[in-house]
Amino acid sequence: AAMSKSARFGCLCCTYDYETPKTLVIQSTKIGCMFRLVQFVVLLYVVGYVCVVRKAYQERDSVISSVTTKVKGFAYTNTSYMEPRLWDVADYVIPPQGENSFYVLTNVIMTPKQTQSRCPEVRTSALSIQTGLCVNYSATVQTCEVLSWCPLEEHTKLPKPALLNAAADFTVLIKNSITYPKFKVNRRSILPHINSSYLKKCEFNRSTDPYCPIFRLKNIASEAGEDFQDMAVKGGILGIFIDWSCDLDWGAHRCFPKYSFRRLDSKNPVNNVAPGYNFRFAKYYQTPDGQESRTLIKAYGIRFDIIVFGTGGKFGIVPTIINLGAALTILGLAPKVCDWILLTCSSKKDLYKKNKITHLNDDDTESVSN
């Protein structure tokens, strides 16, 4: 019972304890250097990383963007399996306008003069309705008769080099408009110094003309580490990345787009099932006797996805105060770190602890005052 009462008395006394910081000056080169080193590391983090790298004193806003494109170029083909033909933008850009992307036709397999009728089934094709009859496919082979668009598409070998390998020299104008609504900043990929005469002759070059918005397709593939002629055979997807990250403290006139390029579709040499990019479409006609006819086109090509991103930053009083307070708090940890090292790791930790922590009670204070 006595011990229980003593324990309760001790806990009660602790309730009324008051702690106040005590300044202990230690004249030691080693400890002084350690303290200044900790302060230097904290200041280096605050100034170098927080202020310079992250610019934490700025308010942020994400870019809002719109993109339109215009492809230019002509190609002429003259092969044994197709009549001579001139190709222009209306032929090889499908569809004419995409959502932040454009597609350029580079290779085709055509099946002309198809009509809805009955014909022998092609073994590699299952895109038809069987009639239940067996008919001659060739002199030695019989297959099921099908109701379909005849003649059926033959799975022939792709033209190599690609039929429209001249597309490598086509050009595209990318018109990109962006805004930072919080800061009321608007910019275009056609910069203020670009006029009509300059736009007719300029071409993007990372070294000599990095802000020209006109790109040659083969150079886009080259920047992405790809060979355009190889991609043109089976198609693929290339990404055009436009980075509008800007430090608006220097003014909106110093906010410029930065372009980068990358292949987006898989090109794994081990797991390369269904490589490239292709789709089918048809062009419909009417014969003189009124029958519907079409040309089926299996189109291989390169899709260019335009991906716009970026963050604008500008000085703001609120983030500045918040990060300044955080910096002062972190700086205040330097003495705590040194105290912990002194009181736990130092060879004179008992001496430091004896002088660092002093216990006084009311009787001691009265004796001191007398």
pTM metric for this prediction: 0.78
Residue ranges for the known binding site are: 70-72, 171, 278-280, 298
> Cα(351)–Cα(357) distance, rounded to whole angstroms?
10
Helix, coil or strand: residue 144: strand
CB atoms under 10 Å from CB of 35, counted, come to 19
1: pLDDT strictly greater than 50: no
Contact between 360 and 87 (Cβ < 8 Å):
no
Output the pLDDT for position 259: 97
Tens of pLDDT along 83-103?
888 999 888 888 877 789 999
Q: Give dist(CA 367, CA 86) in Å, integer.
A: 110
User: Does position 231 have pLDDT exceeding 90, yes or no?
Assistant: yes
What is the DSSP pairing of strand 292-309 with strand 236-243?
parallel
Specify the pLDDT at position 129. Answer: 86
pLDDT tens-digit series, residues 13-71: 566 676 777 677 777 787 788 888 888 888 888 888 888 888 888 999 999 999 999 99
Pairing mode, strands 171-180 and 185-188 = antiparallel
Distance of CA 279 to the CA centre of its chain: 26
* 10 has a pLDDT exceeding 60: no
Kindly state the percentage of the chain with pLDDT values over 90: 49
Average of per-residue pLDDT across 275-279 = 90
For the chain, the average pLDDT equals 86
- The larger pLDDT score, comparing residue 31 to residue 217, is at 217
The C-alpha atoms of residue 251 and residue 244 are separated, in whole angstroms, by: 14
Whether the upstream peptide bond of residue 161 has omega within 30° of 0, thus cis, is yes
pLDDT exceeds 80 at position 241: yes
Q: Which residues are annotated as a binding site for ATP?
A: 70-72, 171, 278-280, 298
What's the CA gap between 359 and 19, in Å, rounded?
9
pLDDT in tens, 329-359: 888 888 888 888 777 877 777 777 777 777 6
Higher pLDDT, 191 or 334: 191
